[in-house]
Amino acid sequence: MLVLIGGMTVLAVVDAVPRVRLALGQTGTSGTMTVSWCDDPGSDGPRRRCEGTFVSDATGEAVVAGAVNTFEPGDVYSAQLTPDGGRAVLRGVRYALADLRSSCTGLFILAMILAIWIRPLTRTVIVATSAMGTVGLVGWIAGWIASLG
């Protein structure tokens, strides 16, 4: 169980790193996205898809790319274009925090399992698991608040 939760936490962190770097502007191209169209396949189809025109802040070059599916046609948002140019995601610390929720959830659960399983319960174990749990919980709360909108 411990290996499973630990492995899932590591995988969640590894999976989130590229998205966090993109949201923080460390990779990709900064610019503005204007949503052109969205299709709504209904409840039995795949999830909603949107597309629009991304204009680079640096060059002013416009490209067609996938857009965030919570917007409507005509909406404009500050975005970061993926390095492959296929999708424009929301940019900023808030969106980076939202991507870290699953990693922080895993860290919190891992800390709680360690606190239950490790015996004897020394001061070092208590401090280490409390620190891990606190970081996990605070990170999850920050990500949840950031994802609210």
Query: What pTM does this model have?
Result: 0.76
Domain that holds residue 31: 27-91
pLDDT at 83: 95
Same domain assignment for residues 114 and 82: no
DSSP code per residue over 53-99: EEEETTT--EEEEEE-TTS-TT-EEEEEE-TTSSBEEE-SHHHHHHH
| pLDDT, position 43 | 62
The token pair that represents 55 in the structure block: 């204009």
118 and 140 co-located in one domain: yes
Whether residue 33 contacts residue 88, with contact meaning beta carbons closer than 8 Å, is answered with yes
65 vs 79: CA distance, rounded Å: 11
User: So what's the pLDDT on residue 92?
Assistant: 92
Question: Are residues 125 and 105 part of one domain?
Answer: yes
Which residue is associated with the tokens 């949840």? 144
Closest Cα partner for 81 from 36, 23, 35?
23
What is the reported pLDDT for 149? 64
Q: What is the pLDDT of residue 30?
A: 96
Query: 3: buried, middle or exposed (CB in 10 Å: 19+, 13-18, 0-12)?
Result: exposed
Q: Report pLDDT for 74.
A: 97
Alpha-carbon distance of 110 to 137, in angstroms, equals 11
Regarding whether 33 and 69 lie in a shared domain, the answer is yes
CATH code, 60: 2.40.50
Residue 34 — φ and ψ, nearest 5°? -115, 120
Paired sense of beta strands 49-56 and 29-39, if any: antiparallel
pLDDT of residue 42: 67
- Both 31 and 87 in one domain: the answer is yes
Given this model, what pLDDT does residue 44 score? Answer: 63
Is there a contact between 23 and 96 (Cβ–Cβ < 8 Å)? yes
Mean pLDDT per block of 10 residues along the chain (149 residues) reads: 82 90 95 94 74 96 94 95 95 90 89 89 92 94 86
